[in-house]
C-alpha cells in the first residue's frame, strides 16, 4: 500500500530523526527581509525538525513552528527546550488548512514545502498563507526548480530507504 506524502514525513522522522540540520542560505536572507520589514511574529510553515525555527528564534523573532508531522514537531520542541528558547509555539496542521486566525503573522517562511502534492494542494496552501498573513506582511517561499543545485539530489524514497 502506498503511503500518502502527508504521512511520509512522519514516517521519515520516526525512523531517522533529524534528516536535515544546516540552515539554508535562503533563511538568512529571509531573516534580513523580516527584520527590514519590522516583522515580529513569523510562522515557519512546514518546519520539519525545526532547523529554521530554531535559527529564527535565536534571532529574536516570535516563531510559530508548524508542520503536518507530529514527530517533526516533537523533535523541534525538544531542541528548543534544550536551548531554553521560549519564543517558539508549536502547532500541527496541514498547510492546505492552516489552523490560525486571519491576519495573524507579520512574516511567513515556507521552504521546500509548497511543492509537495498536486497543483490544487499548492493553490490551497497559497490561499491559506495569504489568509493568515497580516496586510503588508512578508512571505518568503522557496520553490526548488530544475535549475537548483539540489534538484534531483534527493527523492522522498531516498529518505525512506535510509536508516
Q: Could you state, in chain order, the average pLDDT of each consecutive group of 10 residues for the chain (163 residues)?
A: 59 68 86 97 94 96 95 94 96 91 96 73 89 96 68 50 41
Provide the pLDDT for residue 151: 58
Provide the pLDDT for residue 162: 40
Provide the pLDDT for residue 2: 47
Q: How is domain 1-8+40-145 classified at the CATH fold level?
A: Rossmann fold (3.40.50)
Provide the pLDDT for residue 22: 80
Provide the pLDDT for residue 23: 83
CA 46/CA 66 separation, integer angstroms: 6
Task: Output the pTM of the full model.
Answer: 0.81
Provide the pLDDT for residue 21: 72
The pLDDT tens digits of the residues spanning 9-30 come to: 667 666 766 767 788 888 999 9
CA 5/CA 162 separation, integer angstroms: 17
Q: Name the strand (E) or helix (H) holding 131.
A: helix 119-132
Q: What is the DSSP string of 52-79?
A: HHHHHHHTT-EEEEEES-HHHHHHHHHH
* Strand ranges, E, within the chain: 41-45, 62-67, 88-92, 105-111, 133-142
Provide the pLDDT for residue 160: 40
Amino acid at each position: 500500500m502506498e503511503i500518502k506524502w502527508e504521512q511520509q514525513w512522519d514516517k521519515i522522522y520516526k525512523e531517522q530523526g533529524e534528516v536535515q540540520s544546516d540552515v539554508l542560505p535562503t533563511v538568512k536572507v529571509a531573516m534580513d527581509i523580516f527584520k527590514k520589514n519590522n516583522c515580529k511574529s513569523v510562522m515557519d510553515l512546514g518546519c520539519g525538525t525545526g532547523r529554521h525555527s530554531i535559527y529564527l528564534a535565536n534571532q529574536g523573532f516570535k516563531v510559530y513552528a508548524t508542520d503536518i508531522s507530529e514527530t517533526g514537531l516533537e523533535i523541534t520542541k525538544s531542541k528548543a527546550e534544550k536551548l531554553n528558547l521560549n519564543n517558539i509555539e508549536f502547532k500541527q496542521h496541514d498547510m492546505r488548512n492552516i489552523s490560525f486566525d486571519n491576519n495573524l503573522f507579520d512574516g511567513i517562511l515556507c521552504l521546500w514545502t509548497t511543492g509537495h502534492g498536486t497543483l490544487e494542494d499548492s493553490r490551497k496552501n497559497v490561499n491559506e498563507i495569504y489568509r493568515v498573513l497580516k496586510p503588508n506582511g512578508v512571505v518568503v517561499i522557496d520553490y526548488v526548480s530544475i535549475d537548483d543545485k539540489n534538484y534531483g539530489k534527493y527523492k522522498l524514497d531516498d529518505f525512506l530507504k535510509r536508516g
